[in-house]
A and B are shown apart, each in its own frame.
Chain A
Amino acid sequence: MLILTRKAGEQIRIGEDIVIQVLEMGRGVVKLGIKAPRSIAIHREEVFERVKEANLAAMEDVRSQRMDAALRLWKERREDARGGDETNHQF
């Protein structure tokens, strides 16, 4: 791993088109600004890892679980709720 020391306001360039700037340093926290092309996804590592794990686990469920069990669970719940659901895509 390359290790660099930077002061607040200073930058790091990675390749042609990625620039990382140290904006602020606080108590145990550093604020970074990142400029990168649109095609590069930028995530906080720990959150990205969790999303990845969740996706992989979901794939494993599709592989190993039977669909009709999910449908049965859903229908049981709907019968209990007696039609209290609505379908819409309003955010």
Chain B
Amino acid sequence: MQIQTAKFGVVTVEEEKILHMPYGLAGFPGEDRFVILDKEDSRPFCWLQCVDEPEIALMLMDPYLFKPDYAVDVEPVQEEMGWTEESREDLLLYVVVRMYSEEAENPKKEAALRLVANLVSPLLVNAKKKQAVQVVMYDTHYSFEHPVV
């Protein structure tokens, strides 16, 4: 099927790639159909694109590429989502990445680009069930802005 995106124009995605997010995505009430756009030339980054709202897209990446010891307790999430027959290997984990320029202290200096990832609320994807959920960790030492580089 074809979907409208603000970032990439019209893209064609296979119907079976569409992920349902039963709990939605915080900040975007009412949206529950998303797709992961993974283009070879932009790896390791990919996008979580909302199917029904072109402007909604978040940049994602595999957290283990920069944080090999990242630990997420997925069992309660599996329980909650009814993903009990899936093994951990069936689930994919992504983190939302932000890139922004930091205001330079010295106005003459060039603003430095920051690349950070939200390790508090990763995205857990069950490709088999075509579902995804944004996990929210409480009482965690992880940061909403963990440096990627």
Contacts and interface: CB of A to CB of B under 8 A. Distances in A.
Interface stretch (B11-19, B61-69, B102-110): B61-69
A71 B26 contact: no
B2 interface: no
B86 interface: no
Given A85-B65, A89-B91, A54 B138 contact: no
B27 A91 contact: no
Nearest to B134: A51
Chain B CB count within 10 A is highest, among A44, A70, A88, for A70
A52 B23 CA distance: 13
Contacts of B80: 38
Interface string B105-149: 000000001010010110000000000001010100000100011
Contacts, number: 114
Interface of A: 38-39, 41, 43-44, 47-48, 50-59, 61-63, 65, 67, 69-71, 73-74, 76-77, 85-91
Interface of B: 6-7, 22-28, 42, 44-45, 47, 55-59, 62, 64-66, 68, 71-72, 74, 80, 82, 88-89, 91-93, 96-100, 113, 115, 118, 120-121, 134, 136, 138, 144, 148-149
